[in-house]
Amino acid sequence: MNVSDILYKKLKIKTDESCPPTEEMLAVITHWMHNAGKASASPYGEKCRKYLQTILCASDPSLDKKDITLKSIKEQGLFQDAVNVPFPSPERSRFTFIDLFAGMGGFRLAMQKHGGRCVFSSEWNAYAQKTYFANFGEVPFGDITDERIKAYIPDNFDVLCAGFPCQPFSIAGISKKNSLGRAHGFLDKTQGTLFFDVAEIIRRKRPKAFYLENVKNLQSHDKGRTFHVISNTLQELGYNIHYQIMDGKYYVPQHRERIMIIGFRNDLYQGKETFTFPAKEDPHLKIRNILDPNIDAKYTLTDKLWLYLQNYAKKHQANGNGFGYGLTNLDGISRTLSARYYKDGSEILIPQGEGKNPRRLSPRECARLMGYSDQYIINAVSEVQAYHQCGNSVIVPLITAVAGNLVKSMLNDECK
């Protein structure tokens, strides 16, 4: 039996308060599988056997619950798709981390690159959970605001990673919410307050360090008051923070500015950690280097859509603003890839020569633009969902570079 079979086919399992939804059951099982034999498995082991019995007996009623044990699942080779994955945890880990608002797993790739072992992941979007599972063999837990989910987070992990939702603080997100008459920032009841869930986990678990990422506008939102609240909260929790706005264009051919916030526990490092952000280099990156030479014709814009985008741009230019499509210079870098890219591809259009309409990037090209290798599985979900996930992702090589400096400081500077 495979985890993916259960995720996609949804075995008919009756759930109640003592037996949570299938996704949570699979999260417990796959987290146990990746932490078995280690202290970080303790939050999962007790419930794992019960959930295994529930799932396996639902698929085969002839099974005897007594024969289903944590040991037997390994002996029988069950759920091997949770083990045979492109990006497994390092065999020998140097530190542990948790991955909140995990998305496609950009933070996980970065931390694993430096020898980190993930002991807990969470992501509420069901499609992103499938992509994450396909690449890491782990089903992330869901809503991190739920106390039942928080209870699974192990003690004594080293680093908390969180690219917490940016829509309440981004320029695009604020414009949309204003047009709908909705609040933004910390007044956004569904997303803006998620920072405080992160802060509460930091307070309870006291990791050695954390790595938070968000949009550039976080620093200036509400005349700086939002960032003042965030930075003060983190400092009051006993952490010395470092922050900097960094542009992804130094790592991939895409202009994408994000704020990086790094924190170290004061009682361990006394504010004397040697952390610095990576130096900027002139990479001379070109978008043509991430393009496929033979691309399916379906990515070329239809005459109707191309005419619409041109007329839309003319309309806004006449009104004195710069809204419109972005025809990319193949020897330069692109605009920022957004989560809405699947709709028309307007912010990053690839020219195809005279007499031919431009095209949008394919999902694989979008993944490359975010720094994901071609070994990364992008087609575990539909193309629409893949586009959406790429637009919401972090730039992997940028996160990896910052993470490298964080890990070096954390491991070398403790208790100096």
**pLDDT tens track for 69-111:** 777 777 777 888 898 999 999 989 999 999 999 999 999 999 9
For 13, 60, 180, 219, 368, the CA distances from 337, given in Å and listed in that order, are 39, 45, 23, 21, 12
Give the pLDDT of residue 322.
Answer: 59
Per-residue pLDDT averaged across 173-177, rounded?
40
Q: How far apart, in whole angstroms, are the C-alpha atoms of residue 378 and residue 131?
A: 7
List, by residue number, the catalytic residues: 166
Give the pLDDT of residue 182.
Answer: 44
415 — pLDDT class (breaks 50, 70, 90): low
Q: How far apart, in whole angstroms, are the C-alpha atoms of residue 266 and residue 7?
A: 42
Give the pLDDT of residue 17.
Answer: 63
Give the pLDDT of residue 350.
Answer: 97
Give the pLDDT of residue 79.
Answer: 87
Per-residue pLDDT averaged across 277-294, rounded?
92
Q: Flag whether pLDDT at 144 surpasses 70.
A: yes
Give the pLDDT of residue 312.
Answer: 86
Q: Among residues 164, 396, 372, 194, which one has the least CA distance to residue 261?
A: 164
Q: How far apart, in whole angstroms, are the C-alpha atoms of residue 360 and residue 299?
A: 5
The residue among 283 and 383 whose pLDDT is bigger is 383
User: For all residues of the chain together, what is the average pLDDT?
Assistant: 88
* Beta-carbon contacts of residue 273 (< 8 Å; ≥ 6 apart): 240, 264, 409, 410, 413
What domains can you pick out in the chain, each with its CATH number?
Answer: 1-84 (no CATH), 287-392 (3.90.120.10)
Which tens digit of pLDDT belongs to each residue from 365-407? 999 999 999 999 999 999 999 999 999 999 999 999 999 999 9
> SS3 of 154, please?
coil
Longest Cα–Cα distance of the chain, Å, equals 74
Lowest mean pLDDT among 268-282, 304-318, 341-355: 304-318
Q: What are phi and psi of 12, to 5 degrees?
A: -80, 90
Per-residue pLDDT averaged across 309-333, rounded?
82
* Beta-carbon contacts of residue 59 (< 8 Å; ≥ 6 apart): 1, 11
